[in-house]
Structure 1
Amino acid sequence: MAAILALPLLILAGLAALAVLFLISDDALGGSSEKVPCADALAFGGARLPAGAYDADCRVESWLDTHYAGTFRMPRAEVRGRLTGLSPQGAEPGTAGCDHGVDLCLELGVENGGLPAGAEAHAVTANVTYEDATTARVRWSAFTT
């Protein structure tokens, strides 16, 4: 009989412990962003970090889905060729549909032209901003949906 009466108290104690966990944790359910090598971030989307890339900074966030994101700089003259080489269906990078302030972009996914060989992601985006005559800043994203 005592065990049956104690059950509601145990349930309340468990709920209180969960509430405390949510209050004190920045990431109670997972999904926090972690720094990763950019080679890993690009490989998830079927690409490689270009030779000569610098200022690379990449992160991964994973819980129900996985999302790699990062930025790096590279020679501006090489950007279009690198992006064109990613698409197995020959999708060309362009300016249509790009975010505001982006000079060149490419979106790849299962629905719109396929993904590079070896990609684990379901979708890949690359947004390029020309910083000057010789430098391009690339924002990379590869994620599952």
Structure 2
Amino acid sequence: MTGTQAETPVEESVPGRTRWGVFIAILAVPTLVVAALIALLVAWLFTDDSVDPGVRKVSCAEALDFGGARLPAGARDPGCHVEAGPEPRFEASFRMRTDEVGAWLAATYPDEPALRTKQCGSRWIDACLNVGPVAGQHAAVQVEVVHDGPHWSDVRFVAFTL
């Protein structure tokens, strides 16, 4: 018997697709996402995102004068600012002796009622006063008093145009 060798057919190599395209597509998506996040981080770091709220410090004499008042003698820790806008809003806060608050307001606004202890808008406010047009202008004043112990009170004075 003669053995014949079976020849294996040679496959023709046909140029076709490889899997590199799928591999690159899978890697490209996360790479683009990371690049976009880095670009957003850089943009966020180098942009000026400070917002001017229109609030600036002023002298307490100016803030209180707008509402026809003066800083009381013996006031401590005064801090005053104005909120800019179409109509200015001045705010002053300071500490003073509790027993002097009523006398200071009576001397400042002699034709107005005394401090009231009810209907002040918040249960944390111990006394308040609303005064409307003062100082010969169309300004209103709100005064809020919060007692800080038996001897001292925190006073918040707000003057704004009507």
Query: Which residue does 1:75 correspond to in 2?
Result: 97
Higher relative contact order (CA 8 A, sep 6+): 1
| Cα distance change on mapping 1:141 and 1:119 into 2, 3 Å | farther
Residue 99 (1) aligns with residue 121 (2): yes
- Looking at CA atoms only, which structure, 1 or 2, has the larger radius of gyration? 2
Q: CA shift at 1:35, angstroms? A: 0.7
Q: CA shift at 1:88, angstroms? A: 4.2
Contact 2:55–2:83 under 8 Å retained in 1: yes
Query: Which residue does 1:136 correspond to in 2?
Result: 153
Q: CA shift at 1:86, angstroms? A: 2.7
The residue matched to 2:108 in structure 1 has which SS? Answer: coil
Query: Which residue does 2:141 correspond to in 1?
Result: 124
Contact 2:60–2:78 under 8 Å retained in 1: yes
Q: CA shift at 1:38, angstroms? A: 1.1
Identical residues among aligned pairs (%): 38
The residue matched to 1:85 in structure 2 has which SS? Answer: helix
Partners of 1:90 and 1:62 lie apart in 2 by 28
Residue 84 (1) aligns with residue 116 (2): no
| Cα distance change on mapping 1:133 and 1:121 into 2, 3 Å | farther
Query: Which residue does 1:43 correspond to in 2?
Result: 65
Normalised by the length of structure 2, the TM-score is: 0.64
**Structural RMSD (CA):** 1.9
| Cα distance change on mapping 1:121 and 1:37 into 2, 3 Å | farther
Normalised by the length of structure 1, the TM-score is: 0.71
Partners of 1:52 and 1:121 lie apart in 2 by 29
| Cα distance change on mapping 1:95 and 1:24 into 2, 3 Å | same
| Cα distance change on mapping 1:68 and 1:99 into 2, 3 Å | same
Structure 1 unmatched runs, 5+:
1-22
Partners of 1:143 and 1:121 lie apart in 2 by 8
Aligned length: 114
